[in-house]
Amino acid sequence: MIKNTGYDQPGVPSINRPHFGDLLLSKYRQRIMSGFDDLQQFDLIDRLEKPVLSFGFFGSKRIIIEVYDFISRFPYSFLIRTNKGLDIWKLPERGTRNADVCISRFPNLIKFIRDNEITIVSDLWGLLYGYPLPEIHQFTYDWNIWAKDQPHE
């Protein structure tokens, strides 16, 4: 059974430092594999400039559940997914897993990602992650044209 802790309503912005990103980095820095920049600038999610933030980390079942419990103490909606799916309580006790976290102040975005992750197209991911629109368009539609005009080493 998947617990629903991460799907509650968002709370008030964390205006005072240390903010959630700083706390998460100080506690789990050695386990985080991706998303450092977003975590360091976590106030972008509180100012609603970045709809969804993601980061990746690794750990045993115990560590993954510990991160889940840590995030659950804050007013954000989130999900944690491993290669075994969303139900982290059914992970094997032994072994290390990679886990991806999506976190947002918008509970419906997290539900949408949970239900549609496989079918979300790259331009929509760019919008969800708060990239500038010209950058999304360039990456998604104009990449071959742009890359062709760049000097090669």
Instruction: Summarize pLDDT for 58-78 with one digit per residue, the tens.
Output: 999 999 999 999 998 888 899
What span, in angstroms and rounded, lies between the C-alpha atoms of 153 and 114? 41
Q: Are residues 45 and 14 in the same domain?
A: yes
Question: What are the tokens at 64?
Answer: 């993954």
Instruction: Summarize pLDDT for 99-108 with one digit per residue, the tens.
Output: 999 999 899 9
Q: Are residues 27 and 81 in the same domain?
A: yes
Q: Are residues 51 and 96 in the same domain?
A: yes
Above pLDDT 90, what percent of the chain? 42
DSSP of the chain, one letter per residue? ----GGGSPP-----SSS-HHHHHHHHHGGGEEE-HHHHHTTHHHHTTSSSEEEEEEEE-HHHHHHHHHHHHTSS-EEEEEETTBS-GGGS-SSS-EEEEEEEES-HHHHHHHHHHGGG--HHHHHHHTT--HHHHHHHHHSHHHHHHTSPP-
Q: Are residues 106 and 49 in the same domain?
A: yes
Domain hosting 87: range is 5-118
Q: Are residues 129 and 91 in the same domain?
A: no
Place of tokens 């909606």: 77
Q: Are residues 113 and 143 in the same domain?
A: no
pLDDT mean across residues, the chain: 83
Q: Are residues 127 and 99 in the same domain?
A: no
Q: Residues 70-91: what's their mean pLDDT?
A: 90
State the Cα angle at 11 between 8 and 14, rounded to 5°: 135
Instruction: Summarize pLDDT for 51-61 with one digit per residue, the tens.
Output: 999 999 999 99
pLDDT at 1 > cutoff 80: no
Q: Are residues 13 and 77 in the same domain?
A: yes
Angle between the 20-28 and 61-72 helix axes, to the nearest 10 degrees? 160
pLDDT at 87 > cutoff 80: yes
- Contact between 24 and 57 (Cβ < 8 Å): no
* Tally of domains in the chain: 2
Above pLDDT 70, what percent of the chain? 82
